[in-house]
Structures are given as C-alpha cells and as structure tokens.
Structure 1
Amino acid sequence: MAEPIHPEARIGHVHLKVADLDRALGFYCGVLGLGLTQRFGQQAAFVAAGGYHHHIGLNTWESLGGQSPPPGSTGLYHLALLYPTRAALADALRRVEEAGIALEGASDHGVSEALYLRDPDGNGVELYRDRPEAEWPRDAAGNLQMVTRRLDLAGLRSQR
C-alpha cells in the first residue's frame, strides 16, 4: 500500500463541463452567490467565495449545447460547498428556495447538515455545514458514528 499523502492536501477546485455558460453563472453566482473571478467569453468562467482565485471552473469547451449524462453513467456524483455556520447554510437554503430550485434531499449526518440539489446541467450539488467536532456522534468506545436522517428544514429556516 502506498504511503498517505500530506495531511494538509485538499481539493482546491472542481471544473465542470456545462452546456450554457450564462445559465451556469446564473446558478452559481446568481443563486448561490459565488463571485465571478474571471471569464473567457462564452467558453469558460471561474467562480469563488472569499476572494479565492476559483473554487469552481465552468467551461463549454467540450459541452456547448450538450446534454446531461444519462442515469447509470459514470462521472461526478456531486460537488460540495462547505458553509462556515448554520446561519450561512440557512441563507443558502433561502436562496435556493427563492429561485424555485427543488431540493433532492436534506440530510442530517450527525457530523454535518446537508442540502442536495442539481445545477442547470444536472450536476449534483451539496450545500453543507460541519458541526463542531465536539458534537459529532460517537459510540461508547469513542468511534465516530455517522448517520443519515432527515434534516429538520424548519429548524434550519429559523436560523435566518
């Protein structure tokens, strides 16, 4: 078995193929509120939060006018945007609901709370926040016990 990579390595960004760049930007910037950091005409754009160079790249290089992959295809399951607080996740829920975008799911995993939806190109998107580690569910031996149960959306909405 190979040695593990450096423990501070992390996913820096994801780059998505989209069919319509303006439509994708309407979702990622208009609905979710990410900032546009750079755009290359109708071919590519980079969006981010907090002044980072880009968390998400969007391009039409191989996908202009294309269709979403059919069910049963391989590829990206979802990208996940981590929000710093429950109030920030509640704001994300408000934005999604005001845009009329349906949730595909909403789960409480014990360690996190997550909202699941699709972008206009059918890519899975998870919007979530981690609970403080001291609140993570553990068994009697102290082992982490992740769960999946229904997220209390009414309780989340009350965080606004």
Structure 2
Amino acid sequence: MKTNYTIPTQTRIGHVHLKVSNLKRSLEFYCDLLGFDITTMYGTEAAFISAGGYHHHIGLNTWYSEDYPMASKEGVGLFHTAILYPTRKDLATIYNRLLKEKYPITGSADHGVSQAIYLNDPDGNGVELYWDRPKETWSYNPDGTIVMFSHVLDLDNLLKEINNT
C-alpha cells in the first residue's frame, strides 16, 4: 500500500540488537577484535556496545539463544549488520587487523558508492565493514537512482591506505 508519507531525510538506523549464543565470545569479537567499547551490561545475559561513547550501536543478548547453534545461512533473518567506517584508511586498518588475527573474511566488494569487507561473527551473523565514498562522487542513472554494483575490491590497494597519511 503506497501512501504519501515520506520518512524524514535525517532519519538514521540507531542500533542493531543481536541474539547470540555466547555473550563472552561475542564480546571478544565485537570489542576485542573490532574495537567497540562496552557501554553497559545487563547482568550476564546482555551487553550494549558502541563506538565513540554513544549509548549503543549494537546490543548483544542471550535471552532466548544461549548455547544455541550458529545462525543458518539459508532462510529468513538478518543478512548482515553494516558498520560504517569514517575513512578509507580506517577500513584498511581494520582489514589489516583481521589479517593479522587470521580472522576469516567471507568476501569483499567495491560497490561504486562504497567499499566493503565481509565476515561472520562467531554466531554466523553476517558483518559488513565498509567505507562510503563521498556522496558527490556517486554516479546516478537517468531516472535518478544510484548506480551500484559489486566489483572486485583491490585489497592490496586498500592496504596501501595505511601508509598514506
């Protein structure tokens, strides 16, 4: 059903809340590996984490999922959580960290508007780590829609960003 309502342009997705099977293991991934900070704990069953002191970007809980198996790749559910890095150098830095920690990467892509690294958290939830190109460099189709694609991301070139200051 189409209505005349348009969501306000400044609307943002504030956070994602994930069901996990092991809170400690998830905190090791999101905090120890990716670098998020714990903002608060709800006993031993839930944690809220953020970047930069926000109340939370990600909630993690075991309320209905403690010790359950990993998320299925098939079926309905969350495809991935996308974490936006402020600069290409920041994306290169986290990619380099993942390489050093030998954390498995499931893919990468240049989408024209962004560059992305894909991986799974310990529960099999998809995670996209990405950087947006400046909006003024995006391309548009004649009908005004954004040109997006999935091309190979030159990961060696991305790593060169670390040495460029």
TM-score, scaled relative to structure 1:
0.94
Report the identity percentage.
49
Alpha-carbon offset, residue 76 of structure 1: 0.5
Q: How does 1:1-160 map to 2 (within 5 A)?
A: 1-2=2-3, 3-138=5-140, 144-160=146-162
Counterpart of 1:57, as a letter, is: G
C-alpha distance in structure 2 between counterparts of 1:8 and 1:91, whole Å: 29
Query: CA, structure 1 residues 147+71, in 2 after alignment: closer, same or farther (shift >3 Å)?
Result: closer
- RMSD over aligned Cα, in angstroms? 1.5
- Structure 1 counterpart SS, 2:99: helix
Q: Partners in 1 of 2:9 and 2:139 — Cα distance? A: 23
Q: Structure 1 stretches (4+) deviating beyond 4 angstroms?
A: 139-143
When the two structures are superposed, what TM-score results if normalisation uses the length of structure 2? Answer: 0.91
Task: Tell me, in whole angstroms, the C-alpha distance in 2 between the residues paired with 1:138 and 1:7.
Answer: 19
Q: Distance in 2 between matches of 1:37 and 1:97?
A: 27
- Between the aligned partners of 1:68 and 1:78, the Cα distance in structure 2 is 14
Q: Take 1:30 and 1:126, find their aligned partners in 2: how far apart are those partners?
A: 17
Q: Give the letter aligned to residue 73 of structure 2.
A: P
Kindly tell me: are residues 41 and 143 of structure 1, through their superposed partners in 2, closer, same or farther at Cα, counting changes over 3 Å? closer
Deviations 1:63-92 (A, max 9, x none): 000112323221100000000000000111
Moved more, 91-100 or 130-139: 130-139
Hey, what's the Cα distance between the residues in 2 that align with 1:103 and 1:66? 23
Residues matched between the structures, number: 160
Distance 1:36 1:143 in 2: 38
Gaps of 5+ in 2: none
CA distance in 2 between partners of 1:139 and 1:16 (Å)? 35
